[in-house]
Amino acid sequence: MIRVAILGSTGSIGESALKVMERHPDRFEVVALAANRSVRELEDQARRFRPLRVVVADEEAFEACRDNGTHWSGGREALVDAASMPEADVVLNALVGFAGLEPSIAALRAGKRLALANKESLVTGGDLLMEAMEDGEGELIPVDSEHSAILQCLGGEDPDQIQRLVITASGGPFRGWSRERLAAVGPEDALRHPTWDMGAKITIDSATLANKALEVIEAHVLYGIPYDRIDAVVHPQSVVHSFVEFVDGSVMAQLGFPTMELPILYALTYPDRLDDPDLRTFDPVRASPLTFEAVDTDAFPLFRIGVEAGRTGGTAPTVFNAANEVAVDAFLRGKVDFPGMAQVVEEALSRTEVRPVTELEVILEADRAARRSAIDSVARRTPAGN
């Protein structure tokens, strides 16, 4: 029996994880459920899965439902506690945004397998995560489909054998659009993703390709491959989830119709595979044709800006991530236009000093400074009366 704590259980990844686990009640047990503030959904899930702990990260939201029982707790600390609870073998971190970093560190330090869907953890605190993993003898298995693909392509081979990684990108709803045309798109257009059904933040990040930049950084941290040997390619069908080119020129790819259930299941059972008829539906004829094109960094500058922040290292990826979170939020609220998101992020990067990451406090400070800067940029861009 694999005992799983799910952080971010009411989001898209969390829901998919519960669906997968519900199909295999003999293999999985849910020991904790945590969400930021979706209390109604959390109550439903708690009734279905009867976990030992239920956490509401947002204090205010927790106050409104604290009569649910003593196994309910609230606040950031409760989240970190759930990530290191002794009854869990695996912590699935599917929280959204920077809030996922501390629970990730806690899980690895407690020797858990961290099934990581919260990419911001790796992007902002990569070194700290690796350190915590070593200290606590934890294990980090990516849930992101591209990084799961890389792990599967590796098939136990040493990452030293990798010549190059090619991460695929769907290209989002605006693939092929020019910079000029993009100036007029609104949140409702950007939220319509062609191949993946995901939460709002990551859907916007897919539309701007900021998500792909985060994934390049993620791959760099996870597999120790230098940035000049990690490429991204647009692949609209989202069937090839990534390529690994080995030193002898041989290329492996992992394929499948887009579903997050597969990488979630793989992260829970790795290195084993679980027989799951619900997932066994690949058909190469139906998947045809598979096409690939270069990333348009002129129309989607956030890709270039993000990878550049990764290359700079230190707190630069944290600044990129924080400013991007503010920019996405502002875009969703109609405060900046589509190209404005990249401008807000670029300004934050140019105005925030980059420091080496020596401890968590450095990242927290960089995150705060970048948010202040980005909020300021948004305010200066917002037309009067809006």
Judged by beta carbon, residue 167 or residue 316, the one nearer Mg ion is 167
Judged by beta carbon, residue 145 or residue 315, the one nearer Mg ion is 145
Contact 345, 324 (CB under 8 A): yes
Judged by beta carbon, residue 82 or residue 210, the one nearer Mg ion is 210
Q: Give all strands of the β-sheet with 162-169 in edge-to-edge order.
A: 230-234, 162-169, 240-246, 251-255
Judged by beta carbon, residue 120 or residue 146, the one nearer Mg ion is 146
Q: Does 329 bind Mg ion (CB under 5 A)?
A: no
Judged by beta carbon, residue 310 or residue 314, the one nearer Mg ion is 310
Residue 145 C-beta: closest distance to Mg ion, Å: 5
DSSP for 171-187 reads --TTTT--HHHHTT--H
- Rounded distance between C-alpha atoms, residue 351 and residue 360, angstroms: 21
Judged by CB under 5 A, the chain residues 345 through 364 that form the site for Mg ion are: none
Sequence-ordered list of residues with C-beta below 8 angstroms from that of 14, at least 6 positions apart, any chain: 6, 7, 8, 35, 92, 94
Residue 209 C-beta: closest distance to Mg ion, Å: 12
Q: What is the DSSP letter of 100?
A: G
Residue 86 C-beta: closest distance to Mg ion, Å: 31
Residue 171 C-beta: closest distance to Mg ion, Å: 13
Judged by beta carbon, residue 133 or residue 169, the one nearer Mg ion is 169
| Site string (102-141) toward Mg ion, x via CB under 5 A | ----------------------------------------
Residue 267 C-beta: closest distance to Mg ion, Å: 13
Judged by CB under 5 A, the chain residues 139 through 178 that form the site for Mg ion are: 144-146
- The dihedral sign for the CA sequence 108, 161, 232, 349: positive
Residue with nearest beta carbon to Mg ion: 144
Residue 101 C-beta: closest distance to Mg ion, Å: 18
Residue 253 C-beta: closest distance to Mg ion, Å: 15
CA-only gyration radius of the chain, Å: 20
Bridge partners (DSSP) of residue 12 are none
Contact 336, 330 (CB under 8 A): yes
Q: Does 367 bind Mg ion (CB under 5 A)?
A: no
Contact 301, 324 (CB under 8 A): no
Judged by beta carbon, residue 9 or residue 148, the one nearer Mg ion is 148
Straight-line distance from the first to the last Cα atom of the chain, in angstroms, rounded to the nearest whole number: 54
Q: Which residues bind Mg ion (CB under 5 A)?
A: 144-146
